[in-house]
Amino acid sequence: MTIAPSAPAAPFGDPARGAAVPSADATPWETGPHDWRHIARELADDLATDAVEREQAGKPPHDEVARLRESGLLTLLVPAERGGGGADWRTAYAVVRTVAAADGAVGHLLGGHYFLSYCARFFAGPDRAARVERAFAAGQWYWGGGIASQEPPLMLTPTAGGYLLDGHQRYGTGVGVADRLLVRAAVPGTGEPVAVLVDPAHPGLVNGGGGDTFGRRLAAAGGVGFDAVPVTHDDVLGSLSADDGALSPFAGLAAPTARLVSAQFCLGVAEGLLGEVREHGRTVKSSWESFPPQPWQGHAPQDPYVLTAYGELAVTAHAASALADQAVAALTRGLARGEDLDDEECAQIAVLASAAEAAAARAAQDITTRALDAVGAPAALAQHGLDRFWRDTRAHTLREPVAHRLREVGDYFLNGAHPPFSLPA
């Protein structure tokens, strides 16, 4: 028996196949000269054809990043007047979810890239952000690295022409294939954390360590070392300080923006697995057998145990998806307000994003475990690669514990406390 890969996310977005829960397609896509939905779907279908083989081989994702570059999706969020796709975050989230359904690691690569490449708008001034985005679009850069709050900052040493960057970053996404790295460093004297853009082609930068995980094998993640790597004054984009008043409310939206990348990744992986096991459930005898035999025995689509299991999983996905859509809508409104956004509005968006990330992570963990139960013993066969969905989910959620998000939501609900500015891994 072979479980053939199905079209990613189609069970949730294709009315002809009987939509079960809303997918990324359920929200409006950016309209413009490019049909980003069609482009993302074509790329996802391409990735799905050999996802199992590529994941099991575990090679650095140079080819996968090349596919992203060729599709035009890397510069999707860059304004059209700066040479990009001119789309908004609603579209970017939908693209991440579609790609993650086909290949979780590539979806994670793309989501991290979108967040990191957008950070110039959050932390740099408008003129510098425009220069960075024009260069990014012209060079079709893939962005990797990370500016997580829990990362000890690298150290900047002043020189005549800028700075030298030293230290070791324990974890970053895409560090093995990136054209540019965005990292967290400390200003000399004050120790203030800042976002720094680094060209990995400079001497003194060494990749290695921390990337050999059981999931997200193609995310090219891991540690990276810096030994007197030169950076210019212009490469220091801006402050990452969590001190009160250090960041504008608009810059504070960086945290919920990243949280919702995480949520879309989780939902995409869960939907990808459900898409594959649904085809199995329609055609293969149920693994739950009753004694004495019942009239529906041997006919999986009529087996009440199977129907109940899939119903529960669909409800779980539906609920998490609806909350994520609500959070994305709130974030979109907040981003549109720009510097007019106030602290309370930022806090409300951050709490909603934390709730959406927690719900999506729990849904993905539940679905990627229980959906395999519905398949039964064949789910354990390596040739089907169904375990990759569970492994990708767990590798991700271990770095982003749900407990932290729940504490933020609870503190806001009970005490009205604004969530601390904390950027995820």
Domain boundaries, the chain: 10-142, 144-239, 249-415
Q: Which residues contact 54 (CB under 8 A, 6 or more apart)?
A: 64, 103, 218
Residue 245: how many CA atoms within 13 Å on its side-chain side? Answer: 0
Task: Report the Cα 68 to chain-centroid distance in Å.
Answer: 15
User: Which H or E run includes 408?
Assistant: helix 402-415
How much is the pLDDT for 60?
81
| Nearest-angstrom CA–CA distance, 183 and 168 | 10
pTM above 0.85, yes or no: yes
pLDDT in tens, 407-421: 999 999 999 999 999
How much is the pLDDT for 316?
96
Residue 292: how many CA atoms within 13 Å on its side-chain side? Answer: 1
Nearest to 52 by CA among 6, 118, 114, 13: 6
Mean predicted confidence (pLDDT) in 247-272: 96
Q: Is 10-142 CATH 3.40.50.300?
A: no
pLDDT surpasses 50 at 25: no
| Nearest-angstrom CA–CA distance, 288 and 299 | 11
Nearest to 184 by CA among 79, 125, 89, 254: 254
Residue 358: how many CA atoms within 13 Å on its side-chain side? Answer: 15
How much is the pLDDT for 295?
53
| Nearest-angstrom CA–CA distance, 237 and 124 | 5
The hierarchical CATH code for the domain 249-415 is 1.20.140.10
CATH superfamily of 144-239: Butyryl-CoA Dehydrogenase, subunit A, domain 2 (2.40.110.10)
pLDDT in tens, 163-186: 999 998 888 888 888 999 999 999
Indicate the length of the chain as a whole number.
425
DSSP bridge pairs for 180:
143
